[in-house]
Structure 1
Amino acid sequence: MDANNRNHWFLDPGPLSSWIDQFAADLAAQRYTPLTIEGYTASARHFAAWLGSAGIAIDDIGDDVVRRFAEHRCRCPGGRRWLRVSPKYSRRAGRFVVFLQRKGVARPSVKVASSYPLLDDYRNWLRIHRGLSERTIARHLRHLHKLLPELGTATHDYDAALVRNVVREWRERTGPADLRTITSTLRSYLRFLAGAGLCRPNLDHAIPPVVQWRLSSLPRYLAAADLERVVASCDQLTRGRLRDRAILLLLARLGLRAGDVAGLRLSDLDWTSGMLRLSGKARRQVRLPLPQDVGDAILAYIELERPRVDQEAVFLMMVAPYRSFSQSSHVSTIVALALKRAGISDAPSTGASLLRHSAATSMLRSGATLEAVGTVLRHRSLDMTAHYAKVDIAMLEQIAQPWPGELAC
């Protein structure tokens, strides 16, 4: 009898045995490998056997039970002599508990009441009325959890002096970049409160501006030859080659943001008209023409490499469970790895925005107008697009204003 079968014999999962089998089937449906499934079911079997030895009923499985399992001094059957369970092992047992909760076998996790119940309404306001992405909403909430202990919950007592004092204190704690996002969040929250009649109006005007020189630096971009080397570096991959190539071409040809790529859906691709539908900032929807090489790359990925799973997202992770990118930073990681493969060690930056800047610069140098480039990049203001004209002195003539001469005092 091999070690695997001995463990199955000594570790009696009791009434959870059938649920462990269903857990394994659920993992298999998500395309986990047999070896990974065996690791999960071994943890689940150990957890179930420990429940029996500890006298814990299935109905009593709660959030603290997995922690107790992770900390127990293991003397379970099968020759185990562990001082404590490894973090990876306990996480797999926790995954089994989540499965049981989803099936209604274990009681659901208890949600701790928020100390700031108004934040639930604020979250819905940002989502419905402001059209912000979930990632941006989460950032606003993180900032507010830092600010509210100082602001307090008595919103009707808020005044200009309190708001300024909070901003002044945070100016001492953080840098200009973080302070800009914090003050932006605070303005948004005060507007929400004022609109709901929960604080006096116009308090957002009491927040002092954070001084910055907008668009003062040169745009960071890659030369055309380096850009092609980055795209060609995907040929070095054995797994994810077609996916990464399609992503890099979307960034380099259309100047998409990382969030645009991560959020792209199969329904956004109109193959008949050769158009791409995007939902950008504030959920503004636009349609862009799909270049031939980009369309070919996406189609090759979908037909030859994309996992056959019921997922609407175009780009998926390459390991099970096959799901969409949880964060847009995954797209920037793909860019950073491509730069490394291409041998470009002096790139001005390593994120997805580098290829967006490169696309804008390339379009301007190819003769495209500022208005055309701004349309492709979906800029709200032409001033943002004019930022890219600084990389070529000749192009500055398009935005330079005549010298007004000497003005009378």
Structure 2
Amino acid sequence: MSNTNDQLITELRTVLSSQQYSPVVIGNYCAYARGFVEYLAQQSIDVVEVTETQVVQYLHHAVALFRKRHGRSPGPYWHSIPRSGIHALLRLAQGQWPSPPKAACVADALRFAICDEYETWLREERGLATASIDALMWEGRNFLAWQIDRHGPDSLMTMSVSDIDSYMDTRSPHQTRRSVKDVAERLRSMLRYLHRTGRVAIDLSPHVIAPLLYAYEGVPSILTPDQVAAVLQASGEDKTSAGLRDHAILQLLATYGLRSGEICNLRIEDMDWRAESIRIRHTKTRASSFLPLMAPVGEAVLAYLQVGRPATDAREIFVRTRAPYRKLGLLASMVRRRLTAAGVTPAGKNGSHIFRHARAVEMLRAAVPQKVIGDLLGHRSTESTAPYLKLATEDLRAIALDVPGQEVRS
């Protein structure tokens, strides 16, 4: 192996050590990364030019070598170790992995240009949150690839309503009515942008047909106060690093009804211990709220910071329990795991939002004004809070009147 590749492996070892990977993991990652660069050398491929396809080809090669050496196939999760080591190597060598796609033809160049401009417009002109932009961009990329691959780069100007209907037909199977409506709304956004920038002759967005959803259709899942207490009690008994972290997160969910992203983005400087307040950056509105730091929440977060949180330069409060110690992504799997451990089985969905629903209903039943509830939940208007009203069904039953009926005579 060349001196350049030897140096690259040495740098990889240093980076992994700085990210506090265990010595065993570092050894495994570097061993597989070394095997990968040796394979590249045999193929006369420079590591900075590697593509995802070549990584897949190498993994097939590595499986064949494993069979030859051990006389059997590797386990079902074996490939995750060499892949992780290779990806760490490529992030170091290329600066970003997966690397940005490169235009291989005129159609690719057109799609990439439109998507880059569209993303800039969504962020700078419309000021949308990152999560909203990601959803819109996925649909936009998917639609452009579908249309241009079928009819070529010149087909956008002559696109018709039948093309829109055909695309929606491909996206509708196995989707709920709510999901199909979301697809339609994201597609309308892309079509309006294409017309606005002169790439489509007419505005086709009004012709996107979506299911009609009735106001407050469907009742979301909700936890009862006893179920919330059971989950908090069960998580509070887990004194491991993961248990301390999860208990603090569940306290935030139960007390404030925060969104998943608002908890994942919570930073150390957002906790003002002297003023006993907490700053929340609302993911949808991009506004900030300052809420009183309730004692159970403060105690749970402090216990995690003092005992459970690994040493890391990350400013986010809640981080992974294994290296690399970066901020958490989604909370859904953690919430499901803690619900199961507490023996709580919601009737419907069981993600982090059920705590949000439960907090809203609790305040509604305590006669808290709807505007105050909306402010706590980070809603822009009372219309966003209104759907939670349908969850307080027990209150409606409590004031139901007996309807007199015709007396039955014997």
1:56 aligns with 2:44: yes
Per the alignment, do residues 249 and 170 of structure 1 end up closer, same or farther by CA in structure 2, a change over 3 Å counting?
Answer: same
Per the alignment, do residues 381 and 210 of structure 1 end up closer, same or farther by CA in structure 2, a change over 3 Å counting?
Answer: farther
Give the whole-Å Cα distance in 2 for the aligned partners of 1:17 and 1:250: 47
Q: What CA deviation, in whole Å up to 9, does each residue of 1:166-206 have, x standing for no partner?
A: 54675577542221111111121133234434445754333
Shift of 1:155: 4.1
1:137 aligns with 2:129: no
Q: 1:260 is paired with a residue of what secondary structure?
A: helix
Q: Decide which of 111, 119, 128 is 2:124's aligned counterpart.
A: 128
The number of residue pairs the alignment matches comes to 379
Paired position in structure 1 for 2:189: 188
- Counterpart of 2:386, as a letter, is A
1:19 aligns with 2:8: yes
Paired position in structure 2 for 1:101: 93
Shift of 1:335: 1.2
| Conservation of the 8 A alpha-carbon contact between 1:370 and 1:385 | yes
1:360 aligns with 2:348: no
Q: 1:350 is paired with a residue of what secondary structure?
A: coil
Q: Decide which of 25, 32, 39 is 1:43's aligned counterpart.
A: 32
Give the whole-Å Cα distance in 2 for the aligned partners of 1:396 and 1:34: 60
- Counterpart of 1:132, as a letter, is L
Give the whole-Å Cα distance in 2 for the aligned partners of 1:170 and 1:49: 43
Q: Which stretch of the first structure deviates more once superposed, 38-47 or 164-173? A: 164-173
Paired position in structure 1 for 2:290: 287
Mapping for residues 196-345 of structure 1, pairs under 5 Å: 196-199=197-200, 203-234=204-235, 235-236=237-238, 238-273=240-275, 274-325=277-328, 327-328=329-330, 331-345=331-345
- Counterpart of 1:216, as a letter, is E
Shift of 1:16: 3.0
| Conservation of the 8 A alpha-carbon contact between 1:233 and 1:341 | yes
Shift of 1:215: 1.1
Seq. identity, %: 27
Q: 1:310 is paired with a residue of what secondary structure?
A: coil
Paired position in structure 2 for 1:404: none
Shift of 1:255: 0.7
- Counterpart of 1:268, as a letter, is D
Give the whole-Å Cα distance in 2 for the aligned partners of 1:285 and 1:262: 15
Q: Which stretch of the first structure deviates more once superposed, 285-294 or 23-32? A: 285-294
Per the alignment, do residues 95 and 186 of structure 1 end up closer, same or farther by CA in structure 2, a change over 3 Å counting?
Answer: closer
Shift of 1:312: 1.9
Q: 2:111 is paired with a residue of what secondary structure?
A: coil
Unaligned residue ranges in structure 2 (runs of 5+)? 398-410
Give the whole-Å Cα distance in 1 for the aligned partners of 2:341 and 2:394: 34
Shift of 1:358: 0.7
- Counterpart of 2:317, as a letter, is V
| Conservation of the 8 A alpha-carbon contact between 1:70 and 1:84 | no
Per the alignment, do residues 230 and 379 of structure 1 end up closer, same or farther by CA in structure 2, a change over 3 Å counting?
Answer: same
TM-score (norm 2): 0.79
Shift of 1:288: 2.9
Shift of 1:388: 3.0
Give the whole-Å Cα distance in 2 for the aligned partners of 1:47 and 1:288: 51
Give the whole-Å Cα distance in 2 for the aligned partners of 1:59 and 1:369: 61
Give the whole-Å Cα distance in 2 for the aligned partners of 1:351 and 1:256: 12
Q: Which stretch of the first structure deviates more once superposed, 162-171 or 27-36? A: 162-171
| Conservation of the 8 A alpha-carbon contact between 2:314 and 2:326 | yes
| Conservation of the 8 A alpha-carbon contact between 2:139 and 2:186 | yes
Q: Decide which of 13, 21, 31 is 1:32's aligned counterpart.
A: 21
Q: 2:323 is paired with a residue of what secondary structure?
A: coil
Give the whole-Å Cα distance in 2 for the aligned partners of 1:75 and 1:220: 48
- Counterpart of 2:90, as a letter, is V
Q: What CA deviation, in whole Å up to 9, does each residue of 1:246-295 have, x standing for no partner?
A: 11111111111112112222233333431323133142333333322212
Pairwise CA RMSD: 3.6
Q: Which stretch of the first structure deviates more once superposed, 267-276 or 220-229? A: 267-276
- Counterpart of 2:372, as a letter, is A
Shift of 1:35: 0.9
- Counterpart of 1:295, as a letter, is G
Shift of 1:164: 5.4
Q: 2:241 is paired with a residue of what secondary structure?
A: coil
Per the alignment, do residues 157 and 27 of structure 1 end up closer, same or farther by CA in structure 2, a change over 3 Å counting?
Answer: same
Paired position in structure 2 for 1:8: none
- Counterpart of 1:353, as a letter, is H
| Conservation of the 8 A alpha-carbon contact between 1:74 and 1:80 | no
Q: Decide which of 79, 83, 86 is 1:91's aligned counterpart.
A: 83
- Counterpart of 1:246, as a letter, is A
- Counterpart of 1:186, as a letter, is L
Q: What CA deviation, in whole Å up to 9, does each residue of 1:70-112 have, x standing for no partner?
A: 3447999xx95789996335414523541551479xx995732
- Counterpart of 1:387, as a letter, is P
| Conservation of the 8 A alpha-carbon contact between 2:28 and 2:85 | no
| Conservation of the 8 A alpha-carbon contact between 1:255 and 1:357 | yes
Give the whole-Å Cα distance in 2 for the aligned partners of 1:186 and 1:57: 40
Paired position in structure 2 for 1:116: 111
Q: Which stretch of the first structure deviates more once superposed, 150-159 or 136-145? A: 150-159
